[in-house]
Every structure is written in structure tokens, then in C-alpha cells.
Amino acid sequence: MDWGHVLRLIASEELLSIAGLALLLVAAWAGDKASRAISIAAVAALVGAAVIVAPHLCDGASASSVFYGQMRVDAFAAYAKLLIYGSAIAALMVAPVFFERVKEMRAEYPVLVLFAALGMGIMVSATDLMTLYIGLEMNSLAAYVLAAFLRNDERSAEAGLKYFVLGALASGILLFGMSLTYGFAGSTGFEGIRSALSGEISLGMVVAITFVLAGLAFKISAVPFHMWTPDVYEGAPTPVTLFFASAPKVAAMALTMRVTLDAFGTQVHVWQQIVIFASLASIIVGALGAIGQTNIKRLLAYSSINNVGFILIGLAAATPQGAAAMLTYLAIYVAMTVAGFVAVLMLKDENGEPVELIADLAGLSRHRKVLSACIAMTMFSLAGIPPLFGFWGKFVVFQSAVQAGLVPLAAIGIAASVIGAFYYLKVVKVLYFDEPANKVTGKSDWAHQALLALATLFISPLGYLLTKALGALSATAAAALFHAA
């Protein structure tokens, strides 16, 4: 093996590791004063990593395995990494204004985000259970700290603790499943597992698959492993919530795709039922759970559970179209999540305190027309009402399910989406129909405005002009996933 070539292939990971370590030193020397500069440097590193990764996506054929099958550098990983780096950049951009207000902007924040992004990059390229676990834990450890970043805030500390305890439990479940898999398949590499699992498999292997999927379901917060999501999303500082709702979701979902479609790709009928159940349960529980929420961050948490359900419909199809549909949905989901949480960050009262109660947003459309219009568009988009771009995400996953012959799943899923529409409508109702509460009067930062404008533009009907490009990219990425089939 030519090491120079291999090191070039994983250049994005190297860049992020070196940047992370270097910035950690800078943070230690320069202290919190330099946190803005470190953030900017971290954003630059992420942009650099994205530039390195992008060619792999454009050239679908250039897939290669590195480190004796530990990782795979292909279009699929590149697609997921681009989304992850983009989300991380957004999380870095919105953070300074938020943390500086409470004098908590510390230099560790950008460094932790960088390490989390690195871990996620490893997750999505992993083709071995070992690499998978290293990436997952690297991301998780950074994430636990990020959740508890506001040390003096009880809710933030609680979120960190909850995330840590439940995350550790999920990692345990996942490890148990992985060890069983190793026991039955005799290999930790996805290729080895795949070839060992052709034909009929033993009950023990079914249990192994179930445990692996249960562990992964926790990471993507699919029902029934979703309980931590609302609490962590509500308690974590909003920029961190934005990060949690976007990047780790993409990474964990991509990881789940890699594990199910590649490692367990020959045993579709075993995991398909699990995925179908998790998908429908997530759609329904996510929708019903959101109805009673009064805090907009909790509402968005349930909304993310709901969205995960829709994404899983594409996985249930177990076809390249399904995988491509999931990737398209993920891209749109990231844009909607960024738009949603940036809008939440912009909701501030006259003292700059964040406003999180939905009731306090009453009549916002009277004095903050553009912000309200952006929130309303995000809500309609999350509800999947055309002509907003969120509809396209739902459209492609349902189409893949119909093409795979899963018409009943598609019909039930789409009917349940109407329940979800109810609570998205509730937010629009509060913004537009209710008498003004005049709570949200604070000014917002230009970085927030720019991000919101960008994300809203993407989910506006203009997004449809991107459908061809997006479709082609996600098809290339999905094809890379099915290389062995």
C-alpha cells in the first residue's frame, strides 16, 4: 500500500485533526479572548476540509478503501461530510453572539466542534466496526461537553448529564450488538460481515443486528430511543442544539445507511421490519409529542424525531433510489434545521434574553415581517407543504418507497404527516393570527441574518431549481454505497 496515496485520501481528517490540536494549543495560550479568532480559524479549517472532500463527490467512480478496509473514501462519505462540515460552520457562525452575551464564549467551543466534525467524518467513512466506534465516540465525547457548555445554567448541565448517561447506555447496546456480530460473522470489517451473512442466518445474528440498530436508533433519535432528544435540545445552548439537530443526525444516519445497506446488505428482510417500525413510530410519536409543546426548541426536537421517521422510509425501501432519497432529504433537512434554529436564536427580548416560549411569539408578523415570514416558511417546509422545498424531501422518500413496492408504508406515513402539519400550523397561527405580545424586540446579528436568509432561500420554491443537481449528487453518493451489490 502506497502510504502517500492513502494519506492524501484522508487529507480532510488530517486537516481537521491538525487544526483541532493546533487551535487547542492556541486556546490554552491565548485564552478566551481569542475565541473569535479561533472560531474563524476553525471555520477556515472546515471550509478547507470541504474543499478537499468535494472532488470525491463529483467523481463518483473514485472510491477506494484505506487502512486495509478500515475506512472507505467515496462519494457517499463525501456527500455526508459536506453536510456535516456545513452544519458545523453554521454552528460556529451563530455561537459568538449567543455566548458573549452571557460571557461564556470560551475558546474550547470551536475546538470541540472541530473534533466532533472530525469524529463524524470518521463515522461516515467507517467500513469496520472498530473505526465506526472510534468515530462515534469521538463525536459523542465532544458532544457531551458541548451540551453542558453553559456550566452555570442548570438546564445545560442537566442536558449534558442526560446526554452522557443515555449516550453511554446506547454505546453499550451498540457495542454488545457489535461483539455479537463479530462472534457470528467472524469479522469486524463490513465486507467480511457481508460475505459471512449471505444466506440464512442464525437467531443470534438476528439479535446482533437488532442490538446494533437499537444503538444506532439512539444516535439518530428514532422512536423508541428518542426520549433524550427534547430534554437535550431544550437544555443545550441554542447554537449547540442547532449543531446537534443537524450534523450528528447526518452522520448517524449515514452510518446507519452504511451499516444496514453495506454490512447487513444481504439481510434486508431482517432489518427492514425494524426500520419500518422505527420509521412509522417516529413519524407518529414525533407528531403527537409536538402538539402539546410550549417551548419552540422542544417543538423543533419533536420535529426532528418526526423528520427522522420520514428519512427512515427511504431506508426501508433498501434500494439505491431509497438511499439517494435519504441523502436528498438530509440536505434539505439540514437547511430547514439551520433555518429553524437560527430563527430561534434571533428571537430575543429587549434585554437580549432569548425568547423560547411559543406564546411569546404571538403576532410577531406585525413588527418582524421578514423574520416571521422565514419562520413560517420553515414551518410549512417542515410540514412538507409544496411549493416549499421540504416537500421535495418527503416526495423523494415516498417515491422510493412506492417504487420499492412499499405502498402501504408510504400511505400510512404520508397520512400521519397530516398530524405533523397541525403543530407546524400552530406556530404559523401564533405568528400571524394572534394579537401581538410584543415580546420579541431585540436586535439580531448580521451573521444570523445572513445564515437565515441563505437557508430560507434554499427551502423556498427556488430550491426546486436545484433538484436536478441535488438528485444527481445524491444518486452518485448512493451508488457508491451499493458498490458491493
Partner 1 sequence: MDGFPILSAMMLVPMAGAIACLVSSARTARQIALVATLIDFALGMLLWNQYQPGGAQWQFTENAAIFDGFSWKLGIDGIALMLIALTTFLMPICIGASWKSVEKRVGEYMAAFLMMEVLIIGVFTAQDLFLFYIFFEAGLIPMYLIIGVWGGANRIYASYKFFLYTLLGSVLMLIAMMWMANVAGTTDIPTLMEYNFAPQAQTWLWLAFFASFAVKVPMWPVHTWLPDAHVQAPTAGSVLLAGVLLKMGGYGFIRFSLPMFPEASAQFAWLIFVLSMVAVVYTSLVALVQTDMKKLIAYSSVAHMAIVTVGLFAFNRQGLEGSMIVMLSHGFVSGALFLCVGIIYDRLHTREISRYGGLSINMPRYAIFFMLFTMASVGLPGTSGFVGEVLSLAGIYQVSSWVAFVSGTGVILGAAYMLYLYRRVAFGDQKNADAAAMPDLDLRELAMVAALAVPVMWMGIYPESFLAPMRADISTLEARVARAKPVGDGQFKAGQSNNQTHESHEGSH
Chain residues in the site for partner 1 (CB under 8 A): 366, 380, 385-387, 391, 395-396, 398-399, 402-403, 407, 410-411, 414-415, 417-418, 421-422, 425, 428-429, 432-433, 464-465, 467-468, 470-472
Residue whose CB is less far from partner 1, 130 or 415: 415
Task: Enumerate residues 6+ apart whose C-beta is below 8 A from 350.
Answer: 441, 442
Residue whose CB is less far from partner 1, 239 or 413: 413
Residue whose CB is less far from partner 1, 18 or 422: 422
DSSP state of 189: B
Residue whose CB is less far from partner 1, 182 or 395: 395
Q: Is 435 exposed, middle or buried (0-12, 13-18, 19+ CB in 10 A)?
A: exposed
If DSSP codes are grouped into helix, strand and coil, which group holds residue 404?
coil
Residue whose CB is less far from partner 1, 277 or 464: 464
* CB of residue 394 to partner 1, shortest distance in Å: 9
* CB of residue 432 to partner 1, shortest distance in Å: 6
d(CA 253, CA 219): 8
Task: Enumerate residues 6+ apart whose C-beta is below 8 A from 365.
Answer: 372, 373, 376, 431, 432
* CB of residue 106 to partner 1, shortest distance in Å: 42
d(CA 207, CA 331): 32
Residue whose CB is less far from partner 1, 25 or 422: 422
* CB of residue 153 to partner 1, shortest distance in Å: 35
Residue whose CB is less far from partner 1, 225 or 398: 398
Residue among 102, 91, 118, 95 nearest 24 (CA): 118
* CB of residue 473 to partner 1, shortest distance in Å: 11
Is 99 within 8 Å of 239 (Cβ atoms)? yes
* CB of residue 299 to partner 1, shortest distance in Å: 17
d(CA 45, CA 12): 9
Is 250 within 8 Å of 80 (Cβ atoms)? yes
Is 156 within 8 Å of 144 (Cβ atoms)? no
* CB of residue 386 to partner 1, shortest distance in Å: 4
